[in-house]
Structure 1
Amino acid sequence: MLRRLTLTAVASFAALSAAAPAATAVTPLLPLPPLPVLQGDWTGGQDTRTRLTVTVSESGNPTADGTFELECDPAGGTHPTAQRACDLLADAAEAGDNPFVPTDRNAMCTQQAGGPAAARVQGTWQGENVDARFSRANGCEISRWNNLVPVLPSAR
């Protein structure tokens, strides 16, 4: 059985090897069409603006809880501190930091509670999709939250 399979594979390979040059000899090579000249926007049309939906609950500040829209370049939306939030995000991008990266599961975090505050940030930042969740469950999460104030409200 194994011998038959081996012979069939060798014969198939030989037949394909012989047919390939014959097929290319029959078909003349055609020139490629001219490539379009790249002009203008080198980002490939990718939208690099920031558009985020920030949802906050149980922050301890009733005026900070709710859903807010944040747009940058220019700063706007329903976010209460849009310009300051956009400035923080621009500084993070310039420094090469991504404030939306979750805490490493292997991180050693202090076991302190920062309250029941929770937040979710969705949308685009620097042209990249964002879907990040924030809490104040331990020292690492509290630090992560604080590093994103004023995008997220300061906790009371």
Structure 2
Amino acid sequence: MLRRLALTAVVSLAALSAAVPAAAAAPLPLPLPLPLPLLHGDDGRTRLTVTVSNTGDPTSEGVFELECGPAGGSHPAARQACDRLDELAAEGADPFAPVPGDAMCTQQSGGPATARITGSWRGRNIDTVFDRTDGCAIGRWNGLRPVLPDVR
């Protein structure tokens, strides 16, 4: 009787192990990919709102709209700003990336100027803040001129 029970268990195990891979191999329907503009809510163009304050120069402060492809908006240097963004993209740089947390930055102040940039860049949503609180932040700001004003 024990022999019969053991044989039944072995046969059942063999049958189950053969059935599981067959069931797992059955193709499942995959979700359809969404088109990229729907993922980003944009058509791939650059449309940014640049809000600059505390520069000490009232002509460089305010809210500016920047559109690229073609260049336009209320930004005072729209063509040059779009050219700079294109240049950074061609280099593979992300001009909106924050300073890495492990960066070693000089402890210097570049003043109280701040800027917030929102909108889309090449179809990617942007919402970031720039300041001039240390050497890394100053370098990040200066690397994005003329999108951001020249502040001394």
Q: TM-score, normalised by structure 2?
A: 0.74
SS in structure 2 of the partner of residue 63 of structure 1: helix
2:82 corresponds to 1:102:
no
2:110 corresponds to 1:150:
no
Q: Which amino acid counterpart does residue 130 of structure 2 have in structure 1? A: F
For 1:34-76, what per-residue CA distance to the aligned partner results, in whole angstroms no more than 9, with x for missing partners?
Answer: xxxxxxxxxx462110000000001121111000000000000
Runs (4+) off by over 4 Å: none
Supply the distance in 1 between the matched residues of 2:136 and 2:125 (Cα, whole angstroms).
Answer: 23
For 1:62-116, what per-residue CA distance to the aligned partner results, in whole angstroms no more than 9, with x for missing partners?
Answer: 1110000000000000000000000000011111111000001111100000000
Q: Which has the higher helix share?
A: 2
Supply the distance in 2 between the matched residues of 1:127 and 1:82 (Cα, whole angstroms).
Answer: 18
Supply the distance in 1 between the matched residues of 2:53 and 2:70 (Cα, whole angstroms).
Answer: 27
2:72 corresponds to 1:54:
no
Unmatched 5+ stretches in structure 2: 1-12, 20-34, 38-42
SS in structure 1 of the partner of residue 60 of structure 2: coil
Q: What is residue 84 of structure 2 aligned with on the other side?
A: 88
2:86 corresponds to 1:111:
no
Supply the distance in 2 between the matched residues of 1:152 and 1:104 (Cα, whole angstroms).
Answer: 20
Supply the distance in 1 between the matched residues of 2:126 and 2:93 (Cα, whole angstroms).
Answer: 14
Supply the distance in 1 between the matched residues of 2:93 and 2:44 (Cα, whole angstroms).
Answer: 16
Q: Number of residue pairs matched?
A: 124
Q: Which amino acid counterpart does residue 131 of structure 2 have in structure 1? A: S
Q: What is residue 59 of structure 2 aligned with on the other side?
A: 63
2:72 corresponds to 1:76:
yes
Q: Percent identity?
A: 58
Q: Which amino acid counterpart does residue 111 of structure 2 have in structure 1? A: G
Q: What is residue 129 of structure 1 aligned with on the other side?
A: 125
Q: Which amino acid counterpart does residue 87 of structure 1 have in structure 2? A: D
Unmatched 5+ stretches in structure 1: 1-13, 21-43
Supply the distance in 2 between the matched residues of 1:112 and 1:123 (Cα, whole angstroms).
Answer: 30
